[in-house]
Amino acid sequence: MSNFVSRLACSLLFVIGGAFAAFAQGAAPPDVLKELAPTGKLRAAINLGNAVLAQKGADGTPQGISVDLSRELARRAGVPIELVPFEAAGKVFEAMKAGNVDLAFIAIEPVRAAELEFSPPYVLIEGGYMVPKDSPLKVVEDVDRAGIRIAVGLNSAYDLFLTRTIKNAQVVRARAGGGSAMIEMFLADKLDVVAGVKPVLVTYAKSNPDMRVMDGRFMVIQQAMGLPKGRLAAARYVRSFVEDVKASGFAADALKRSNQTDATVAPPERVGG
């Protein structure tokens, strides 16, 4: 009898231990899987218009922190991954609203929060201004003046932010968001300033010495993971995932692998305000 009890106890410990290990690795329960991957696979939108988050590899396939996080989330949840590339954040947002993708890597903005369940931010990116080298505009505070025209990417995070906050200058939107569309319009239309992801502008200015990027920033872009509104079980799971990849160093390592040293991992989410 005692041997039977011992074997039973060992079996229970094995089962409990296995369940704990699965939980620790982030295994997703059925209600989460139903919302995270309703088609049986996780369809992750990859925004190639933001070079900090995603880049095209030598073979043309997406790479970068958003790709690494997508694959890791799918691995932990135990579902296949499908990477769906887009050229701009605005197009990602539209695809999310249409139900064509399940997961987005997109900046937190009030307009988007009406349609998406956001995780805490995983990466912080500065939004900056670039001007011609001889521009009389010297500091960020100089930009919001009457007669100044600011080029932005359509429906980008900095478009939405500047639309809410600029009082005197004019925000001029490129027909497409993401990539270099706003820089091309800035040059072609001889606008005064171009706004964008600061590391991207810095890279451009390094190879174009007739341009300069202003010191400082006009915003901090909080990059988060987003799911369609109402998928609350999946949103809680993703929220825990984001906090884990920040704390464990996974997010920092992903930034290093893609040489995005100007972006920083967001701090842990504050609990209780």
> Sign of the CA dihedral 61, 78, 239, 267?
negative
Residue pLDDT, tens place only, 31-83:
999 999 999 999 999 999 999 999 999 999 999 999 999 999 999 999 999 99
Domains 6-123+223-265 and 125-220 share a fold: yes
Alpha-carbon span 83 to 101, nearest angstrom: 9
Confirm if 102 and 192 have CB atoms less than 8 A apart.
no
219 phi and psi, to 5 degrees? -160, 160
End-to-end CA distance of the chain: 55
Provide the angle, in degrees to the nearest 10, between the axes of the packed helices 250-257 and 232-248.
70
Q: What is the mean pLDDT of the chain?
A: 90
| Per-residue model confidence (pLDDT) at position 138 | 96
What residue ranges in 39-192 does DSSP mark as E strands?
42-47, 55-56, 62-63, 81-86, 103-107, 116-118, 123-132, 149-152, 170-173
The single residue listed with the structure tokens 């919001």 is 144
Residue pLDDT, tens place only, 209-266:
999 999 999 999 999 999 999 999 999 999 999 999 999 999 999 999 999 988 999 9
Binning pLDDT at 50, 70 and 90, where does residue 271 land? low
- Which CATH code fits 6-123+223-265? 3.40.190.10
Domain boundaries, the chain: 6-123+223-265, 125-220
Q: Is the pLDDT of residue 8 over 90?
A: no
Q: What is the pTM of this model?
A: 0.83
What topology is assigned to 125-220 in CATH? D-Maltodextrin-Binding Protein; domain 2 (3.40.190)
Alpha-carbon span 250 to 230, nearest angstrom: 28
pLDDT cut 90: percent of the chain above it: 82
Q: Is the pLDDT of residue 157 over 70?
A: yes
The strand pair at 264-265 and 123-132 is best described as antiparallel
Binning pLDDT at 50, 70 and 90, where does residue 5 land? very low
Q: What is the mean pLDDT of residues 69-98?
A: 96
Distances in Å between the Cα of 108 and the Cα atoms of 43, 78, 94, 119, 179 are: 20, 27, 15, 9, 19
| Per-residue model confidence (pLDDT) at position 12 | 39
| Per-residue model confidence (pLDDT) at position 272 | 53
Confirm if 9 and 1 have CB atoms less than 8 A apart.
no
Tokens standing for 248? Answer: 């464990």
What residue ranges in 133-189 does DSSP mark as E strands?
149-152, 170-173
| Per-residue model confidence (pLDDT) at position 26 | 52
